[in-house]
């Protein structure tokens, strides 16, 4: 089946007074219907610009964006506004109308499509139930916590039964516990209503938590994309490694000594490999970094080990690990 | 001289001042509000950037605002005659008051609307809101407290201008102050008019502040 979102050679150049910034340098990406796709990158990588190209809040300088096969570029103003009612968006700072109460905030997108007041109120009540805020219908945004505000924003985004939900750093202003509950809500919405979700974030944990597809953006380029499992367990590019192994910095001082990185995949993570290796070689190793993650129920992870001075033992250890189908990588010439 | 006739005259002219002030403020908003909205919308980073319209409005506003009111008052006497049929009296004064206040109001409106969070405007755009919907339901609705504060300032300023119009026989309290205080040296009547003007400004200010506070839902 055709992907619900097709991004084709999208570039975006911002022209300033005396400089121009290439925010996007030719992005190609397909997002399948029903996916939760994470677009991750360092700040300034261009991910926010990319997500705004998906509803044409930013017009790409060149290239096309197809939503359900419809070219946004070819649309006139009214058609684009119509299309936008099916592509909802939530934001880092929630962007609620501060002078309207919760119920009226949710009614706003319904007013845009011309729904009758009475019906809109009914729909708002339904939506508040979905996001678990029924008792706050008459409250004003200023009286709500960040998590509650984002729930209202989600209810508002769902009002017109969108096919796609764009999330621009939607959890970045929230604490970890609230983030978890908002992500759980998004996942629920994805399953319940089959809404395709695109999540822009700079946090790996967000992608791990709910995405099944990931795209990594670095300096305006899409450097890696695929299933979360694939990209996270074997990041190929520098940018991807930097994001995936965010704890890497601590190994920087160890350069010059012999360090290796082992990458775990599903076939070996339940075996106490390092313990067995130490027992087999009768020499201890220094674990410099250990980071394992649970991705979609399968454990993945990486470790950085400092090997003993003795080359024979070190080689033996590397062989031992390789025999167990682990990816072993020497870190001596690893420079960020 | 503090007979019932004087008191009646003061009461009557307080009414005239209020009439001039309120009518000109309303008229000036009819011109200034759309101008302010247009300034925000057509600006470079506005919703519909149209450089020519923005520049034109910007220049008009600056030019009119840099002419002192008293001079503008005299300058547009032909226009006043054309519109009001005569160049003196309370109703005629509404013409120059409106013209002087409109650009000032346009700036007040512009600055109020610029305070509206860009993110909220973006959210409305992402929902497929039209320009008109964004102007009415986002810009004006979200900026309403600031707009009311602006209107209070505008009323106070126009009240001051209306008193100045007394110089050319504009009617109202300013007229009384000049005729009795300046030409006839009856300074006590002048003082009374000053006190009445101060009271009027005070009352308008209190009403404006109360109203804007009551309508502001941003505080807890």
Cβ–Cβ < 8 Å for B92, B82: no
Specify whether A136 is located in the same domain as A269. Answer: no
Whole-number pLDDT of residue B1: 60
* Mean of the per-residue pLDDT values of chain A: 88
Whole-number pLDDT of residue B3: 82
Is residue A336 in some structural domain?
Answer: no
Condensed to tens digits (0 to 9), the pLDDT of residues A91-123 reads 999 999 999 999 999 999 999 999 999 999 999
Specify whether A44 is located in the same domain as A161. Answer: yes
Whole-number pLDDT of residue A252: 41
Q: How far apart are CA A334 and CA B45, in angstroms?
A: 45
Domain boundary among A239, A259, A276: A239
What torsion, rounded to 10 degrees, do the Cα atoms A74, A77, A79, A83 define?
A: 100
Reported as a pLDDT band with limits 50, 70 and 90, residue B107 is very high
Phi and psi of B89, rounded to 5°?
95, 165
Residue in A99, A106, A110, A152 to test binding to B, most B beta-carbons within 10 Å? A99
Q: How far apart are CA A332 and CA A259, in angstroms?
A: 6
Is residue A79 in some structural domain?
Answer: yes
Is residue A335 in some structural domain?
Answer: no
Whole-number pLDDT of residue A322: 84
Reported as a pLDDT band with limits 50, 70 and 90, residue A12 is very high
Specify whether A112 is located in the same domain as A223. Answer: yes
Question: pTM here?
Answer: 0.81
Is residue A158 in some structural domain?
Answer: yes
Residues of chain A in contact with residue B142, where contact means CB-CB under 8 angstroms, are 97-99
Specify whether A226 is located in the same domain as A259. Answer: no
Specify whether A275 is located in the same domain as A302. Answer: yes
Condensed to tens digits (0 to 9), the pLDDT of residues B48-88 reads 999 999 999 999 999 999 999 989 999 999 999 999 888 88
Reported as a pLDDT band with limits 50, 70 and 90, residue B18 is very high
Specify whether A152 is located in the same domain as A176. Answer: yes
Specify whether A289 is located in the same domain as A167. Answer: no
Question: β-pairing, A213-218 with A221-227?
Answer: antiparallel
Out of A99, A112, A140, closest to residue B133 by CB: A112
Owning domain of residue A303: 245-330
CB count, 10 Å around CB of A290?
14
State the smallest CA–CA distance between residue A55 and chain B in angstroms.
7
* Most confident by average pLDDT, A245-249, A271-275, B109-113, B200-204: B109-113
Is residue A41 in some structural domain?
Answer: yes
- The structural domains of chain B, ordered by start, are 4-215 (1.10.3720.10)
Neighbour-count burial for A299-323, b at 16+ CB within 10 Å, e otherwise:
ebbbbbbbbbeeeeebebbbebbee
CB count, 10 Å around CB of A127?
23
**Structure tokens given for A122:** 């009914």
Domain count, chain A: 2
Cβ–Cβ < 8 Å for A31, A207: no
**Is the model more confident about A325 or about B107?**
B107
Question: What 3 state SS string does A252-263 have?
Answer: HHHECECEEEEE
pLDDT at B219 over 80: no
Condensed to tens digits (0 to 9), the pLDDT of residues A247-303 reads 544 444 444 467 888 887 765 556 777 888 888 887 778 888 888 776 766 667 788
Specify whether A169 is located in the same domain as A257. Answer: no
For chain B, the straight-line distance linking the first and the last C-alpha, in angstroms and rounded, comes to 55
Condensed to tens digits (0 to 9), the pLDDT of residues A128-180 reads 999 999 999 999 999 999 999 999 999 999 999 999 999 999 999 999 999 99
Reported as a pLDDT band with limits 50, 70 and 90, residue A42 is confident
Query: What is the crossing angle of helices B90-114 and B144-164, to 10°?
Result: 150
CATH of the domain at A306: 3.30.70.260
* Mean of the per-residue pLDDT values of chain B: 92
Specify whether A183 is located in the same domain as A311. Answer: no
Give CA angle at B42 (B39, B48), nearest 5°. Answer: 145
Domain boundary among A188, A214, A239: A239
Question: What 3 state SS string does chain B have?
Answer: CCCHHHHHHHHHHHHHHHHHHHHHHHHHHHHHHHHHHHHHHHCCCCCCCCHHHHHHHHHHHHHHHHCCHHHHHHHCHHHHHHHHCCCCCHHHHHHHHHHHHHHHHHHHHHHHHHCCCHHHHHHHHHCCCCHHHHHHHHHHHHCHHHHHHHHHHHHHHHHHHHHHHHHHCCCCHHHHHHHHHHHCCCHHHHHHHHHHHHHHHHHHHHHHHHHHHHHCCCCC
CATH of the domain at A118: 3.40.50.300
Domain boundary among A239, A262, A297: A239
Is residue A169 in some structural domain?
Answer: yes
Out of A89, A98, A112, closest to residue B129 by CB: A112
Specify whether A293 is located in the same domain as A193. Answer: no
Residues of B in CB contact (< 8 Å) with A are: 117, 119-120, 122-130, 133, 137-138, 141-142, 144-145, 215-220
Specify whether A174 is located in the same domain as A285. Answer: no
Specify whether A291 is located in the same domain as A263. Answer: yes
Q: How far apart are CA A6 and CA A64, in angstroms?
A: 8
Whole-number pLDDT of residue A246: 64
Question: How much is the ipTM here?
Answer: 0.87
B216 and A81 within 8 Å at the Cβ level: the answer is no
């Amino acid at each position: 089946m055709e992907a619900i979102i097709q991004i084709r050679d999208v570039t975006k150049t911002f022209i300033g007074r005396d400089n121009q910034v290439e925010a996007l340098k030719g992005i190609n990406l397909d997002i399948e219907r029903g996916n939760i796709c994470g677009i991750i990158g360092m700040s300034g990588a261009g991910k926010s610009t990319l997500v705004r190209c998906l509803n044409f809040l930013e017009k790409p300088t060149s290239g096309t964006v197809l939503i359900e096969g419809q070219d946004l570029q070819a649309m006139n103003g009214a058609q684009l506004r119509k299309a936008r009612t099916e592509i909802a968006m939530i934001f880092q700072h929630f962007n609620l109308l501060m002078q309207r109460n919760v119920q009226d905030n949710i009614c706003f997108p319904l007013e845009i499509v011309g729904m009758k007041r009475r019906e809109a109120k009914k729909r708002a009540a339904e939506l508040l139930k979905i996001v678990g805020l029924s008792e706050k219908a008459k409250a004003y945004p200023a009286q709500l916590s960040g998590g509650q505000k984002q729930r209202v924003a989600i209810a508002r985004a769902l009002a017109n039964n969108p096919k796609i939900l764009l999330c621009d750093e939607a959890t970045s202003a929230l604490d970890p516990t609230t983030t978890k509950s908002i992500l759980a809500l998004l996942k629920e919405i994805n399953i319940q209503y089959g809404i395709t979700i695109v999540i822009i974030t700079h946090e790996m944990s967000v992608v791990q938590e709910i995405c099944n597809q990931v795209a990594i953006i670095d300096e305006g380029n899409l450097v890696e994309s695929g299933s979360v499992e694939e990209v996270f367990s074997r990041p190929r590019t520098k940018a991807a490694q930097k994001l995936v192994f965010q704890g890497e910095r601590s190994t920087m001082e160890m350069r010059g000594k012999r360090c290796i990185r082992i990458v775990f995949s599903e076939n070996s993570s339940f075996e106490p490999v390092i313990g067995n290796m130490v027992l087999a070689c009768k020499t201890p190793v220094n674990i410099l970094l250990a980071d394992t993650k649970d991705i979609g129920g399968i454990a993945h992870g990486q470790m950085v080990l400092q090997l003993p001075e003795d080359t024979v033992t070190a080689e033996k250890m590397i062989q031992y690990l390789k025999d167990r189908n682990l990816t072993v990588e020497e870190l001596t010439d690893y420079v960020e | 001289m503090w007979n019932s006739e004087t008191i009646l005259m003061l009461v009557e002219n307080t009414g005239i001042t209020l009439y001039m002030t309120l009518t000109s403020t309303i008229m000036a908003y009819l011109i200034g509000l759309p101008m302010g909205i247009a300034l925000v919308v057509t600006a470079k980073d506005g919703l519909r950037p149209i450089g020519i319209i923005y520049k034109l409005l910007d220049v008009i506003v600056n030019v009119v605002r840099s002419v002192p009111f008293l001079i503008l008052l005299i300058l547009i006497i032909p226009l006043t005659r054309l519109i009001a049929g005569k160049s003196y009296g309370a109703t005629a004064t509404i013409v120059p008051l409106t013209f002087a206040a409109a650009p000032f109001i346009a700036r007040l409106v512009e600055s109020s609307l610029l305070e509206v969070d860009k993110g909220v405007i973006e959210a409305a755009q992402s929902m497929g809101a039209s320009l008109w919907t964004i102007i009415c339901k986002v810009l004006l609705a979200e900026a309403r407290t600031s707009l009311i504060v602006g209107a209070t300032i505008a009323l106070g300023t126009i009240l001051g201008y209306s008193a100045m119009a007394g110089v050319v026989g504009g009617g109202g309290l300013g007229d009384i102050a000049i005729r009795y205080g300046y030409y006839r040296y009856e300074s006590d009547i002048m003082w009374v008019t000053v006190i009445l003007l101060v009271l009027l400004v005070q009352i308008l200010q209190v009403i404006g502040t109360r109203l804007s506070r009551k309508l502001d839902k941003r505080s807890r």
